Chain A
Amino acid sequence: MTATPESPTPKSAPQPAPAAETRPVRSAVVIGGNRIPFARAHGAYAGASNQDMLTAALDGLVARFGLQDERIGEVAAGAVLKHSRDFNLTREAVLGSALSPETPVYDLQQACATGLETVIGLANKIKLGQIDSAIAGGVDSTSDAPIAVSEGLRSVLLELGRARSPKQKLAALARLRPKDLAPEAPSTAEPRTGLSMGEHQALTTAAWKITREAQDELALASHANLAAAYGRGFFDDLITPYRGLVKDGNLRPDTSLEKLAKLQPVFGKTLGEEATMTAGNSTPLTDGASAVLLGSEDFARRNDLPMLARVVDAEAAAVDFVHGKEGLLMAPAYAVPRLLERNGLRLSDFDFVEIHEAFAGTVLCHLAAWESEEFCRNKLGLDSPLGSVDRARLNVTGSSLAAGHPFAATGGRIVATVAKLLHEQAAAEGRRGRGLVSVCAAGGQGVAAILEAC
């Protein structure tokens, strides 16, 4: 980003970077974020594509920080449900945004951890001095999901393209069967188990004996916390309205335990035990996009931009859910302890803990696992339980149960939120707090990261 020539405060030129082998690792900071309000599927954004929404999230970020026509070091974003035409989704979004068309871009996909992984990857590039500024993002639309032709039809069409003679063409078409004409919509089912994400979580929830009441209480807290954060203007500089939607469409500020208790279970109905997972304590399908502005401290200072929090470290994990050794969404339970150990930290060292609420059960299973001596000894190889998360520090401005969960956009939402929380706390209390972010993902994966107030 170049300094504005008429700015009243003279800005110094960027420091020339030393050669790579002598370059020290530096800090990468979160400068701010922007997202569009998340909409329930087939709602306000039914007519918006992933590219539309990601462009809107980028443009809101550009407007907030005055980045018009600036060349950003690199932009990375992705979507979980992606049309084949969107092979260059992020680049197309950047070209349609107010950023300089000379901004380089890459797409990334790690299921629901996509958004967090873009933050980590770009922060690492900043730390290494490869880039000075970056925008990490993610977007997903379940309303505008790609619908594919069946494998049978696809195979016939490809063969038809290769056929030269009319006879060969007829032969190809003759293979077509009526069932091949049915389209295939994407689902959240795991390819190797055939179980949906909800059914997988129902197994884990039951195994950890998480009660319906505990899940409903967590869902209620998510709505109450999100509503309160809106009420105090917390999202004024984190969200830009889009297509007439001003707040997250899934937020139910007036929900109650009574209302949540009335909902019928939707997952785990065939487990033989009482089913506990409802539409109220599971995240709905959602459309939305988010973006996070990252930079070196030098970049932020040079451009008079705020520094909210440093991206300290991150860890990914994966579990073997295919053979039933672990629950599908339990990978962060492994990523977090490894991350804490590497950084010499305990759970109690964090002022804010953000655990993505794929389902209320997911969060509660993680908390239970970290409190379980057996789990921590047998699965993590620890002498004692990892510890408890103080509920007063957990998802304090709400999470996915209330806000919704457009898969790849969730990481950006959480990172910007926790960075702002840390910054607010630092301003109020004058100390550098820490935040822990944990996101589970399809395929038995999970990613965790540590942020620290600047």
Chain B
Amino acid sequence: MAAAQDSYLKLLSNPLARELAGRLKLPRPAVLRRYRPGDPLLPGPVLVLGAGDSAGTLASALLDWGLDVRRHATPGERIGGIVAVLDDVAEPGDLAAPALALGACLRQLAPGGRIVTVSRPAAASAGAAAAPAAAAARQGVDGLLRSVARELRAGATGNGILLDDGVDATAPGVLGALRFLLSGRSAYVDGQFLLVGPGTGTVPADPDRPVAGRAAVVTGAARGIGAAIAEVLRRDGALVTVVDVPAAGEQLAAVANRIGATALQLDITRPEAGARILEHAAGRHGRLDIVVHNAGITRDKLLANMDADRWNAVLEVNLAAQLRMNEAFLASDLLGPAPRIVCLASTSGIAGNRGQTNYAASKAGVIGMVRASAPVLAGRGGAINAVAPGFIETDMTARMPPAAREAARRLLPSLQQGGLPVDVAEAVAFLASDAADGINGQTLRVCGQSLVGA
């Protein structure tokens, strides 16, 4: 699907080239463990570390999934994933034991293995702040996880789940997030935290088809990331409508026919765009359950050379159109009972990027819009979140200057490679499903733990 290609990564599939790269101290990126339906969740047993009650209940929950669960590492045995339950740290001294226990078994982590910490945020989204010592210990998990993630090799990743006030370690949303982070669906998510708040308690009936029967719309779906999102949602059971500008209709039709979706040619900046999408989804599927605002454009220029047309076009497509459409969706009774909206942000909107003031402003705006819209969606039993891709191999990044592209791929992310459109799509599909129960108003980076925006 990705038209763009990482030829260095391809070269390293040759063992000789791989060894040579090692001797020359060149980066040796791994082929990431990506989700394929039917594959086991992990490439080996899962080790649950932690002394508190939560570790025990979480281990039982994982047993219920049919996983091979260990509470202690067996020396020399490959481990598929490590769940470090740290929700009970109360002062900085509490970090030593679990950190060292984690360290002791790191070398046993299989290629494509996973580390997931489960802890509490230093400051909950509402309510009283934690005591300074507790906040320090909790915030310490952040540094611990982000650093251990940088030490992992062979496509292994480390991510964290933060339990908001009143959320326990086996809440449906926590288990949903844990399954996502352990699975191949999170291949290019690295060094990130997901905050799980109180949700509705809904879980997907079938974890392999978490959006079965949901009516979904994906904008900007004629190619690249949008096409991948549509394909993954369809694979996961959704009834998909793909949207793109009429000029991209030929590619859009090809995507629709390849994955089994309906094509809607529509310029999302038209004032009636929201109504047209509602009319189409409701006409074909009775309602609209999932919206993925993926359509976006770049018109890069240094700010000193920026003109109004470039600025306005980017802000209009990437931000204003989303705001207008959301307004139309939320005002309509055709929106399903638990609507989920996922917006595409960008690491440029978090860290900034030279030559992209307009794009970064629009994408940062998306992050703000998502945060502010969360309570409205929660009130309807739904959620709105964003995904911020880092360097993804697409036609868009294929046009970058070669040196900048190679740096973005190789030097900046822990995983030493760019992501694929499907990596973003998996994160979007997760946030579009009930598996993400209780996750609302957040922005999840899919960047291979790039320094940019880290």
Contacts and interface: CB of A to CB of B under 8 A. Distances in A.
Contacts of B266: 233, 236
A65 B262 contact: yes
Contacts of B247: 241, 246
Contacts of B285: 7-9, 304
Interface string A1-17: 00010111100000000
B284 A240 contact: no
A98 B246 CA distance: 20
Interface string B209-250: 000111100000000000000000000010100000011111
A63 interface: yes
Contacts of B409: none
A236 B246 contact: yes
B257 A241 contact: no
* Range class of the A interface residue count: 20 to 34
Nearest to A68: B260
B253 A60 contact: yes
A199 interface: no
A293 interface: no
Interface string B252-280: 11101100111111110010000000000
Given A239-B246, A304-B283, A4 B267 contact: no
A43 interface: no
A65 B256 CA distance: 10
Contacts of B267: 233, 236
Contacts of B239: 4, 6-8
A306 B283 contact: yes
A63 B284 contact: no
Interface in A1-44: 4, 6-9
B257 A63 contact: yes
B286 interface: yes
Contact of B260 (A66, A233, A236): A66
B287 interface: yes
Contacts of B253: 59-60, 62-64, 240
A64 B246 contact: no
B320 to A, nearest CB: 18
Nearest to A98: B257
A282 to B, nearest CB: 29
A305 B264 CA distance: 14
Contacts of A60: 249-250, 253, 263
A235 interface: yes
Contacts of A8: 213-215, 239, 285-287
Contacts of B270: 233
Interface in A206-250: 233, 235-237, 239-243, 246
A146 B29 CA distance: 55
Given A6-B239, A304-B284, A237 B257 contact: no
Contact of A63 (B214, B248, B262): B262
Interface string A271-313: 0000000000000000000000000000000001110000000
Nearest to B287: A8
Interface in A303-338: 304-306
A69 B286 CA distance: 22
A63 B246 contact: no
Given A63-B253, A63-B256, A9 B262 contact: no
B249 A241 contact: yes
Report the 3 A-B pairs with minimum CB-CB distance, sorted nearest first.
Answer: A63-B253, A63-B256, A63-B263
Given A8-B215, A62-B253, A304-B285, 8 more contacts: A6-B237, A8-B285, A9-B286, A63-B262, A64-B264, A66-B256, A68-B260, A237-B264
11 contacts: A7-B286, A8-B214, A9-B285, A59-B257, A64-B256, A64-B263, A235-B246, A236-B265, A240-B265, A304-B285, A305-B284
